[in-house]
Amino acid sequence: MLKIKNINTYYGQVHALKNVSLHVNAGEIVSLIGANGAGKTTILNSLSAITPPRDGEVLFEGVSLGNLSPDRIVEMGISQVPEGRQVFKDFSVADNLELGAYLRFRGREGRAVIKNDIEDMFTLFPQLATRRKQMAGTLSGGEQQMLAIGRALMAKPKLLLLDEPSMGLAPLVVQEIFRVITALREERGTSVLLVEQNAKAALKIADRGYVLETGKVILEEKASELLENKDVQRAYLGREKKEIWER
Amino acid sequence: MKIWDPLYECMLREDLEQLQLERLQATLNRAYKSVACYKKKFDQAGINPEEIRSLDDLAQLPFTTKEDLRLNYPYGMFAVPLREVVRIHSSSGTTGKPTVVGYTKNDIHTWSNLVARFMTAAGVTHDDVVQIAFGYGMFTGAFGLHYGSETIGASVIPMGAGNTEKQIMIMQDYKSTVLVSTPSYAITIASRMEQLGIDPKSLSLKVGLFGAEPWSEGMRKEIESRLFISATDNYGLSEIIGPGVAGECEFKCGMHLSEDAFIAEIIDPDTGTVLPRGSIGELVLTTLTKEAFPMIRYRTRDITSLDYEKCACGRTMVRMKKTMGRSDDMLIIKGVNVFPSQIEEILFAVEGCEPHYQIVVEREGEMDILEVHIEVTENIFFDEMKKQKGFVELVEKKIHSALGVGASVKLVEPASLPRHEGKAVRVIDNRKL
């Protein structure tokens, strides 16, 4: 579904992604893991053309995304849930969801369909249903994250780019978020490219993963195998630290 | 027939190439970072792994040879610290110091699945009883097939090499359905059974998985007709992973090479240039999934060719021809390249020929003398000298027309040539070159 070949992305002079190649199959959950600054978020931002890659090839369902603007990319079926949720705080929950469908208003779909989809989001996230009129800024962190995901889904994406959905959330809330991500794939066939600091939780729900280091991919494996990889365990899963450092 | 891992084994070439590129780039990044030998080689060649942007770019990278492994003996080529290595194996080390290879827990898992692929392709299922007549110990062959069998869910009999009569007894009593051994050992078993008066049809054997040495189509026919089994070939080498690099499917038209785990190239052994698709040359392998022991453009010294045509079994993985010999045991006789396997083919083609033979090369003055010693069987140990002479002449004529060089054929007593339970020594080169 998504194929990336040799993308290089720069922040000014900083070479942030070096020849990154990766792919996501239809219906797959793929996790990107790596330390801070490894380039995980940059990959998502390169895909959504927030920081377009300088060269390389991005194919989505066989179509090149090169030079497309962020809104065109959303229309192609790729939605990003940004790091730190970035909900519209002074807007109600329902308005936030409606804004997620912004581009769809250009099309021939009736408003009724969009309204129906908003209700659908409330089924997916029942917690939000009771707060539909509430300002988004008054929601808890977990609820804001659900809203951010719901807003992205309102664009009817085939591929969801998720940036640090568990950041700053309580373990139980994280569990709920990850349950929803899995359900999206199971029930709607949505593919997910997931960036997570919480590598263990991410790898548990992912099919495959890529490990990034200083802007380069250093490992591509099944998620179950990455969980077994000692390098990954030490660097990103926080396991065995004691035994290793005390020796 | 079942395909073990259809997601990968039946991948579209386009998707496969994407996966290969991703894994190649990741492997290069890791190897450059963690293995001093690769860093040095790449730096000397003036290549940064970041410059590798396509599968074709692979040809720019330097080769890795057995010599590199020896220079870095024992652990220098490992890409992970030893505490992450759960297994250490060694190559058979027929020449010089052995080479040491390591596996992480994931590598063992990957390996098991690669072996399960070709075992399934050969027809092994969880209902089978697999008798492994490879030596355990440092050799990867036995362990690879052992793990593959267990992964499939078959019952493993870890017999080990040798002790032919006991092998036969166990085969009879435990009702083994699959034999894992070298092809020459399968012949040894068949001969011993004939001597003991055991009818191979009374056994439960149905499949043979033979590897670790090159063997011919003629030998396949002989094994199949004498043991009443389907004899399949598989390929691997410890430096790459052990068995599990490639193996035959039920159509026996080349060994499917697991290209999601290895990139195969065919090069001219003399110049090192990559040859066009379909050419015969030396196989060069790059690992794509190995954690502990990545190999980049490893020169296998095995001569073969790759067939990219679609196979009837549904697997899309390229098919590797039976190895035709080794680029380093290729004999140059009077300036002509001669592979022992060519002579073997001829011997099998001539009716009544027992597959125990030895090639002896001598030099008299400036002349190379090629001799083929053949053990006779009752069938060809004719009473009449005339018949015997006719047989020798026939073999000589066939060798001359096939190789372009003459050979003198000598008949020797049955069982007079040395027997090997591991790899057979087929060539004795007495020339001091």
DSSP state of B56: G
pLDDT in tens, B152-176: 999 999 999 889 999 999 999 999 9
Q: Report the gap between the CA of B50 and the closest CA in chain A (Å).
A: 6
- The chain A residue lying nearest B49, using CA atoms, is A19
User: pLDDT over 90 for what percent of chain A?
Assistant: 82
**What is the least distance, in Å, from the CA of A133 to any CA of chain B?**
47
Contacts of B173 (CB under 8 A, 6+ apart): none
Nearest to B410 by CA among B430, B380, B431: B380
Count CB-CB contacts under 10 A for residue B126. 12
Domain ends where: B328, B357, B383?
Answer: B328
For A217, the closest of B25, B52, B289 (CB atoms) is: B25
Residue B43 has pLDDT above 80, yes or no: yes
- The two most distant CA atoms of chain A are separated, in Å, by 66
Residue of B76, B90, B75, B84 lying closest to B103 (CA atoms): B84
Q: Which residues of B touch A5 (CB under 8 A)?
A: 18, 21, 53
Geometric angle at alpha carbon A181, from A176 and A186, rounded to 5°? 120
Backbone angles phi, psi at B40, to 5 degrees: -65, -45
Count of CB pairs separated by less than 8 Å, A with B = 60
Average pLDDT score over chain A:
91
Q: Please check whether residues B247 and B106 belong to one and the same domain.
A: yes
Beta pairing partners, B371: B360, B408
User: Are residue B280 and residue B409 in the same domain, yes or no?
Assistant: no
Amino acid at residue number A230: K
Q: Are residues B288 and B416 in the same domain?
A: no
> Which residues 202-231 in chain A show a CB within 8 A of chain B?
210-211, 213, 216-221, 225, 228-231
Range from A189-203, B14-28, B93-107, B123-137 carrying the lowest mean pLDDT? B93-107
Stronger pLDDT, B429 or B366, i.e. the higher one: B429
Q: Same domain for B270 and B356? A: no
- From chain B, pick out residues whose CB is under 8 angstroms from the CB of A231: 80, 84
Q: Which long-range contacts (CB under 8 A, 24 or more apart) does A177-183 make?
A: A177/A142, A177/A145, A177/A146, A177/A149, A178/A204, A178/A205, A180/A124, A180/A125, A180/A146, A180/A149, A181/A29, A181/A149, A181/A205, A182/A29, A183/A124
Residues in chain A within 8 Å Cβ distance of B18 = 3, 5, 21, 23
Residues B301 and B345 both lie in one domain: no
Average pLDDT over residues B239-249: 96
What token pair was written down for B408? 């003198």
- Minimum distance, in Å, between the CA of residue A102 and any CA atom of chain B: 34
In this prediction, residue A244 carries a pLDDT of 40
- In the prediction, which pLDDT does B422 show? 61
A142/A121 Cα distance (integer angstroms): 15
Q: What would the two tokens of residue B148 be?
A: 């593959």
- Taking contacts as CB-CB distances below 8 angstroms, the residues of chain A near B110 are 225
Say what the pLDDT of residue B341 is. Answer: 76
B348 with B284, same domain? no
CA distance B69 to B96: 11
Cα-to-chain-centroid distance, residue B291: 23
Among candidate residues A85, A86, A88, A84, the one with its CA nearest the CA of residue A98: A88
Using a CB–CB cutoff of 8 Å, tell me whether B261 touches chain A. Answer: no
A15 touches chain B (CB under 8 A): no
Residues B319, B355, single domain; the answer is: no
In angstroms, rounded to a whole number, what is the distance separating the alpha carbons of residues B159 and B172? Answer: 13
Q: Is residue B227 located within the same domain as residue B357?
A: no
- Contacts of residue A221, Cβ cutoff 8 Å, sequence gap at least 6: A208, A209, A229, B106, B289
Residues B247 and B364 in one domain: no
CB of B92 within 8 Å of a chain A CB? The answer is: no
Provide the residue range defining the domain that includes B300: 1-328
Put simply, whether A55 touches B (Cβ < 8 Å) is: no
How far is CA A63 from each of CA A2, A57, B13, rounded to the nearest angstrom? 9, 10, 18
pTM score, whole prediction: 0.85
What CATH number should be reported for the domain holding residue B378?
3.30.300.30
Does residue B373 belong to the interface with chain A, where contact is any CB pair within 8 Å? no
The answer on B315 and B378 residing in a single domain is no
Say yes or no: B290 contacts chain A, CB-CB below 8 A: no
What is the structure's pLDDT at B94? 46
Residue that has been written with the tokens 């057995």 in this structure:
B66
Cα torsion through A82, A86, A91, A96, rounded to 10: 10
CA distance readout (Å), A147 to A85, A87, A158, A201, B5: 8, 7, 18, 20, 39
B416 phi and psi angles, rounded to 5 deg: -90, -20
B172/B243 same-domain check: yes
Q: Which of B22, B25, B110 sits opposite A23 (nearest CB)?
A: B22
Contact B15 A231 (CB under 8 A): no
Put simply, whether B80 touches A (Cβ < 8 Å) is yes
The domain boundary residue, chosen from B328, B350, B376: B328
The DSSP letter of residue B274 is B
Residue where the block lists tokens 């390169």: A46
Q: How far is A59 from chain B (nearest CA, A)?
A: 11
Determine contact: B6 vs chain A, CB below 8 A: no
Q: Quick one: which H or E segment has residue B428? A: strand B427-429
Cross-chain residue pair A228–B109, CB shorter than 8 Å: yes
Hey, is the C-beta of B82 within 8 angstroms of any chain A C-beta?
no
Closest-approach residue (CA) in chain B for A7: B53
**CB spacing of A218 vs B26 below 8 angstroms:** yes
> What is the predicted pLDDT for the residue at B355?
65
Any idea which residue has 């430096």 for tokens?
A: B239
> Cβ–Cβ of A228/B105 closer than 8 Å?
yes
Q: Among the three residues B328, B348, B373, which one is the final residue of a domain in this structure?
A: B328
Question: Token pair of B290, please?
Answer: 């190995």
Give B189-213 pLDDT, tens digit per residue.
999 999 999 999 999 999 999 988 7
Tell whether ipTM is more than 0.90.
no
Cα B124 to the center of its chain, rounded Å: 19
**CATH code: domain of residue B261:** 3.40.50.12780
Identify all chain A residues contacting B105, using CB atoms and an 8 Å cutoff. 228
Q: How confident is the model at residue B345, as a pLDDT?
A: 79
Q: Is A95 on the interface with B (CB under 8 A)?
A: no
Instruction: Say if CB B314 and CB B358 are below 8 A apart.
Output: no
Number of H helices, E strands in chain A: 11, 10
* Rounded Cα distance, B290 and B182, in Å: 26
Residue with the two structure tokens 């195969």: B264
What separation, in Å, do the N-terminal and C-terminal C-alpha atoms of chain B show?
Answer: 50
Q: Looking at CA atoms only, how far is residue B372 from chain A in angstroms?
A: 50
Residue B380 has a pLDDT of 62
Question: How far A152 CA sits from the closest chain B CA (Å)?
Answer: 28
Mean pLDDT of B23-28: 97
Please tell me which of the candidates B18, B54, B109 has its beta carbon nearest to residue A225. Answer: B109
pLDDT for A245 equals 42
C-alpha distances out from residue A26 to A30, A158, B5, B248, Å: 11, 8, 18, 31
Given CB atoms, is B29 within the 8 Å cutoff of chain A?
Answer: yes
Lowest mean pLDDT among A18-27, B61-70, B273-282, B375-384: B375-384
B77-109 exposure pattern, b = at least 16 Cβ within 10 A, e = fewer: bbbbeeebbeebbbbbeeeeebbbbbbbbbbbb
Across the interface, do B21 and A213 touch by the CB < 8 Å criterion? no
pLDDT of A179 > 70? The answer is yes
Close Cβ partners of B169 (under 8 Å, ≥ 6 residues apart): none
Query: CB distance from B25 to chain A under 8 Å?
Result: yes
Choose among B312, B2, B217: nearest CA to B128: B2
Q: Give all strands (DSSP E) within B222-366, no chain letters.
A: 230-237, 242-248, 255-257, 262-267, 281-287, 298-304, 306-307, 319-320, 331-333, 336-338, 357-364
User: Do B279 and B391 have their domain in common?
Assistant: no
pLDDT at B17 over 90: yes
A212 pLDDT more than 60: yes
The second-level CATH assignment, the architecture, of A2-246 is 3-Layer(aba) Sandwich (3.40)
Q: Are strands B281-287 and B298-304 parallel, antiparallel or unpaired?
A: antiparallel
B180: closest CA of chain A, how far (Å): 29
- The average confidence (pLDDT) of chain B is 90
Asked if B53 and A6 come within 8 Å (Cβ–Cβ), the reply is yes
Q: What is the rounded distance in angstroms from the CA atom of residue A235 to the CA atom of residue A212?
A: 11
- Check CB contact under 8 Å for A217 and B52: no
- Contact status, residue B389 vs residue B352, Cβ threshold 8 Å: no
Q: Inform me whether the pLDDT recorded for B379 exceeds 90.
A: no
First to last CA, chain A: 46
Residue A23 contacts B where some CB pair is shorter than 8 Å: yes
Q: Check the CA dihedral B117-B254-B328-B285 and report its sign.
A: negative
Q: How many domains does chain B have?
A: 2
Q: Of B50, B57, B110, which to mutate for an interface test with A (greatest number of A Cβ within 10 Å)?
A: B50
Residues B61-94 have pLDDT tens digits of: 999 998 899 899 999 999 999 999 999 998 755 4
